[in-house]
Amino acid sequence: MKALVEQGCLSVDDEALTDPSAKVREGALYRLDVPAPVEATPTPEDIPLEVLFEDDHLIVINKQAGLVVHPGAGNWTGTLVNALIHHCGDSLSGIGGVKRPGIVHRLDKDTSGVMVVAKTDAAHQALAAEFADHGRSGSLTRRYEALVWGEPRPPDGVIDRPLGRHPADRQRFAVRPGGKRAVTHYRTHERLGDVSFIMCTLETGRTHQIRVHMADIGTPLVADPLYGAGFATKANRLPASVRDKVSALGRQALHAAHLGFSHPLDGRQMHFDAPPPDDFAALLAALRFTDTSG
């Protein structure tokens, strides 16, 4: 029932109610629209994939922004899993369950970049162990590129702050005492007027980790609708050419640029890089041009 309310299926006097904790109003008319049942098992869908590498054990892709990784509430179709089932057939690891076959790690829907997916159970177990180790042994390497408002202080540093669900908004996460430990290393690569181009590496892999941590130190990601909404007016002070690129982006400026890991079969070190997508690259180029010309 709670999930149905959060999805907007409940209305009160013809107005949507999305807060499951809201008190019942005496005399009000409540209407619950139960969505049609969906298939429990994801079906194959012909969704384009940019494949960086593939063998009998794993597949590495450059995930496009806007693609949800696996089916869930509100996104039962059109996901990366649907695309992988179409591309790989039955050759995906079953460890993640029927809704997450082969999924070892995730990227947010609107975060682009490199992902690895397991095609066998043995590969899944080995890769999952690497990701659980978070690179402490040196085999796993991940680098993210991001554009943030302002300038991080210090320009290079480590954010070690626990994360948990936001107390008032279940769609968000927040720095909270008693939350799960989360550690983000960041380095400022370029200062471009009111925006900084930064690189991040992770010691932990919490949901929305980079987005929450950068916002918590006062430099949220550009165009982040969840954690940077309070900085949206900053875009109005940018030159028109840059402002248009921010508007065109329409999502957090975050890209998983690099992924390295040991191949689960023979242990050889593998590295994959993906340039940022066109909209991210166009914004970065406009910021650089404005900064140089100004």
Which positions are catalytic? 108
- DSSP secondary structure letters along 234-274: GGGGS-HHHHHHHHHH-S--EEEEEEEEE-TTT--EEEEE-
Residue 4 makes CB contacts below 8 A (sequence gap 6+) with 10, 32, 34, 35
- In our burial notation (b when 16+ CB lie closer than 10 A, e otherwise), range 59-93 reads bbbbbebebbbbbeeeebeebbbbbbbebbeeebb
List, as one string, the DSSP characters of 97-125.
Answer: -TTSTTB-S---TT-EEEEEEESSHHHHH
The H-or-E segment that residue 157 falls in is: strand 156-160
DSSP letter for 37, please: P
Q: Give the angle 49-272-44 at the CA atoms, nearest 5°.
A: 20
